[in-house]
Structure 1
Amino acid sequence: MKEIWIATSNKNKVREFQDMFQNVNIIVKSLLDLTNPIPEIPETGTTFKENAFCKADFLSKLINKPVLADDSGLEIIGLDHFPGVNTRRWAYPITDNKIINDLLIEKCQLLERRDAQAICALCYIDPIKEVRMFFEGVTEGLITDKAIGHNAFGYDTIFLIPELGRTYAELTLTEKNKYSHRG
């Protein structure tokens, strides 16, 4: 069986990728599988694509195996695409998803429309075959006025997909992978 390394230590992202690759018999490994933990990979890019490349390049050089890295985030149109590339870090030192989501909902209170998009940039690097590819996924949605659902991490409880009338957190993992920016 083939394997692919995912440049993340986020257990939820690993689970999503495992679900995506299970039907093609590819084993997903991640930073959690390294015997010697590494420090957090620096995200020095100014775009999702640049950050995905930073992560994929770092890990592929470290392990010399095929690597897939993502950088993803949320952009709220009425807030000039905030939080954007800083999605994970904008509320630092606060790291609790519920508190961060409540703060984001509060920022949206005065908006006439809560249009948003979930964005994912993927970078695949195979150092052996010298292959480098980029992919981007975007899901259009709305920010809810309260958290809805339980199958969640990050902004899943407040990101509503209008065509489904449900948030990411209300979807099964298979449904989320079908409709999500990462899927």
Structure 2
Amino acid sequence: MRVLLASRNAKKLAELRRILAPALPELEVVGLDDVTPYPEVPESGATFADNALIKAREGFQQTGLPTVADDSGLTVDALNGMPGVLSARWAGAHGDDEANLRLVLDQLGDVPDERLGAAFACAVAYVYEAGEIVTDGRMTGRLVRQPRGSNGFGYDPIFVPDGYEQTSAELEPSDKDEISHRGRALRALAEQLAAPSPTINPTRPAR
């Protein structure tokens, strides 16, 4: 069974394959680069779940393949929960990880270290003929002022999960999968898909 991940992020595709394979070995996960190109809709939702559903619905409509999409981001306590759904374009250009990371650090320049609490949040949507499934995950921790590590992407190099001294980008991928926001949301999805009667929501418009 082929499933589309509505993303061109190679690291995210590898992560999805790692997490879903043990529970659903029959799935072949492909990315947007593996299907006929189609116009991608803007991520205009107000929440992570809204944006995940927008992308998953569009992928299913355009390709006919069951489609998984996620939206995730960094929420910083001292920034009142921002950048949130704007995480990927916090510095203006979508997907400029270095610029986004540096802007967050600049904005926290006068904030004491003890107030650098943060969390990663993720929503995963799965859209197929029977309806829709939405799951979520969260990873709490704190920020550091100097990027460390090369195993992650986005804000991983400045995020230290609770209970760890390494940043998310210093953790081995398998260790990160166990605790990450996306790992938790994807495992919840895998459990739903493997269940005899998954909890399916009827198709509804995103806000």
The normalised TM-score by structure 2 is: 0.81
Structure-2 residue corresponding to 1:156: 156
Deviation at 1:18, TM superposition (A): 1.3
- SS of equivalent to 2:69: strand
Contact 2:87–2:100 under 8 Å retained in 1: no
Contact 2:124–2:136 under 8 Å retained in 1: yes
Amino acid at match of 1:28: V
1:65 to 1:94, Cα distance in 2 relative to 1, 3 A: closer
Contact 1:91–1:100 under 8 Å retained in 2: yes
- Correspondence for 2:124 among 107, 122, 125: 122
Contact 1:123–1:132 under 8 Å retained in 2: yes
Structure 1 segment 26-175 matched on structure 2, within 5 A: 26-34=27-35, 36-93=36-93, 95-112=95-112, 113-127=115-129, 130-175=130-175
Query: What does the per-residue CA deviation read over 1:44-80, in whole Å, with 9 as the maximum and x for residues that have no partner?
Result: 1011110001001101111122111100000101111
Structure-2 residue corresponding to 1:179: 179
Find the aligned partners of 1:93 and 1:69 in 2 and give their Cα distance: 21
The normalised TM-score by structure 1 is: 0.92
- SS of equivalent to 2:88: coil
Query: What does the per-residue CA deviation read over 1:95-127, in whole Å, with 9 as the maximum and x for residues that have no partner?
Result: 542332122112112223111110101111112
Find the aligned partners of 2:134 and 2:44 in 1 and give their Cα distance: 17
Find the aligned partners of 1:61 and 1:119 in 2 and give their Cα distance: 26
Matched-pair identity in %: 33
- SS of equivalent to 2:11: helix
1:139 to 1:68, Cα distance in 2 relative to 1, 3 A: same
Contact 1:148–1:157 under 8 Å retained in 2: yes
Amino acid at match of 1:8: S
5+ residue gaps, structure 1 = none
Give the CA RMSD over aligned residues: 1.5
5+ residue gaps, structure 2 = 184-207
Size of the aligned set, in residue pairs, is 179
Relative to its length, the structure with more strand (as a share) is 1
